[in-house]
Homo-oligomer: A and B are copies of this chain.
Amino acid sequence: MNAEKKAVVLLSGGLDSTTVLAIARDQGYRPYALSFRYGQRAVAELEAASRVVSVLGAEEHVIADIDLRVFGGSALTADIDVPKNAHDNTENSGIPITYVPARNTVFLSFALAWAEVLGAQDVFIGVNALDYSGYPDCRPEYIDAYEKMANLATRAGVEGTQQLKIHTPLMEMSKAQIITTGLSLGVDYALTLSCYDPDDSGSACGACDSCVLRLKGFAQAGCTDPVRYRQT
């Protein structure tokens, strides 16, 4: 087991990253949860992350402030409407317009900084190549390249005393498999929030891409999503 091994776990408060936190704990890691206040409109996401940490537990929970809005460029951070129809939600390339530029690269860079300070060799991230195939920075080849770079960037990597490992336990799972895995580890998905456009009370819209994908996952897993929706 990995008892006493520290791991930085990227935690948005969504279904995927919450499952990852449960997996890291189950594998015996001592999780250090890392969330970001990055100019996203969905601050309810951070409240979800805090709820998840209070229930699942973590050695520490850091919310780092970064502001990608200074660069503009995405529906998730810029002041434009979140697309409600999956068919309108891609450009010709098939990459969703909700894509945030370099987001995972920025998030992993902060995780790398914290891992180095902690002396941790392990970072967990809930990227998934199946459901999110349109996101370039959710693919195995990207993660592999990041890991190689990271091992050249740090004291530990250069000295050869520690090799950083980026864990992507959800990479090849369907949404239903992710949910089934989380449930088997006792995750209460009522704590989580996946919606791109929650209302002030934190209720999910049920219509954005993320809600649609989540609802479909629960249906395929044969369960009911315990999260509140303002429309069904």
Where the two chains meet, the residues of A that have a C-beta atom closer than 8 Å to any C-beta of B are 62, 64-68, 70-73, 93, 95, 99-106, 108-110, 112-114, 116-117, 136-137, 139, 141-142, 145-146, 148-150, 152-155, 157-159
Complex Cα spacing A104 to B109, Å? 9
Q: A26 to nearest B CB, angstroms?
A: 26
Known contacts A93-B155, A117-B101, A136-B154; A67 and B64 CB within 8 A of each other: yes
- A93-B155, A136-B154 provided; 6 other pairs, C-beta below 8 A? A65-B67, A71-B113, A99-B155, A102-B116, A136-B155, A139-B152
Closest 8 CB pairs of A and B: A102-B113, A73-B117, A145-B149, A101-B116, A142-B152, A136-B158, A109-B109, A102-B112
**Is chain A's binding surface mostly helix, strand, loop or mixed?**
helix
Q: A115 to nearest B CB, angstroms?
A: 8
In contact, B62 and A70 (Cβ under 8 angstroms) = yes
Known contacts A139-B152, A141-B152; A71 and B101 CB within 8 A of each other: no
- A113 closest partner in B (C-beta): B102
Name A116's contact: one of B73, B108, B112, B117 (CB within 8 Å): B73
- A148 closest partner in B (C-beta): B145
- A100 closest partner in B (C-beta): B113
Complex Cα spacing A143 to B136, Å? 20
Complex Cα spacing A141 to B151, Å? 11
Complex Cα spacing A139 to B136, Å? 26
Known contacts A106-B109, A145-B149; A154 and B67 CB within 8 A of each other: no
- A103 closest partner in B (C-beta): B113
In contact, A159 and B93 (Cβ under 8 angstroms) = yes
In contact, A149 and B148 (Cβ under 8 angstroms) = yes
Complex Cα spacing A158 to B135, Å? 10
In contact, A72 and B145 (Cβ under 8 angstroms) = no
In contact, B149 and A105 (Cβ under 8 angstroms) = yes
Q: A178 to nearest B CB, angstroms?
A: 23
Complex Cα spacing A157 to B141, Å? 12
- A106 closest partner in B (C-beta): B109
In contact, A153 and B102 (Cβ under 8 angstroms) = yes
Complex Cα spacing A136 to B156, Å? 9
In contact, A105 and B112 (Cβ under 8 angstroms) = yes
Known contacts A113-B102, A117-B101, A136-B154; A65 and B68 CB within 8 A of each other: no
